[in-house]
Amino acid sequence: MKQYFAFQWHITDDCDQRCKHCYIFAKNNCKQLDSMSWAQMQAVVDNCEDFCEMYDRLPYFYITGGDPILHPDFWPLLELLAIKRIQFTIMGNPFHLTDEVCQRMKLLGCEKYQLSIDGLEQTHDWFRKPGSFQTTLEKIAMINRAGIRSVVMTTPLAFGSTPISVMPSWPRFSCTV
């Protein structure tokens, strides 16, 4: 079995949140939301396949943004990966997930969906946006129901953070710090 070569791929700046640490929106850097065109995305997939063929690896994509689901060609991209049997993880937000969306992602081969929780509710919502914590917990259950592995990433904060030692223990998904 060949080893994987993983590509983390930012396809759009578009996002419902404005997190305090976000490089996209820092210091009003983002004058205009940018997204890759469909032609660029197809070229990226081809280039990554060529690279992996040269180094005898299997491509694996971590698709992110922004919130990648907001890209107008999000579904065509997942369909392209499904046709090519390329495995992938989505690194996104909870806000546009429904049972139907999660099931559709699962059918197209989504292995994992990564979200963020940055402390208990007050800290997380201050850092990301009001209501984000509860929505994230609800959507983790939805992701799991569809048979996709949910992964939670935590950004340790120098100010206002919840120590990792008092973070809740969630046995049904893994936690990356």
63: CB partners within 8 A, 6+ apart: 9, 11, 77, 88, 89, 90, 91
35 DSSP assignment: B
Contact (Cβ atoms closer than 8 angstroms) between residue 65 and residue 92: yes
- What is the DSSP-derived secondary structure letter of residue 48? H
Interaction of residue 18 with ligand SF4, rule CB under 6 A: yes
Binding mask 76-115 for ligand SF4 (x = CB under 6 A): -----------------x----------------------
Q: Is residue 49 a contact partner of residue 85, using CB atoms and an 8 Å limit?
A: no
Q: How far is the CB of 23 from ligand SF4 (least distance, A)?
A: 7
Q: Is 22 in the site for ligand SF4 (CB under 6 A)?
A: yes
Q: Considering only 12-20, 30-38, 75-83, 138-146, which stretch makes contact with ligand SF4 by CB under 6 A?
A: 12-20
15 scored as a contact of ligand SF4 (CB under 6 A)? yes
Decide if residue 58 touches ligand SF4 (CB under 6 A).
no
Position 165: which residue type?
Answer: S
Interaction of residue 66 with ligand SF4, rule CB under 6 A: yes
With beta carbons less than 8 A apart as the criterion, state whether 157 and 42 touch.
no
- Contact positions toward ligand SF4, by CB under 6 A? 15, 17-19, 22, 24-25, 65-66, 93
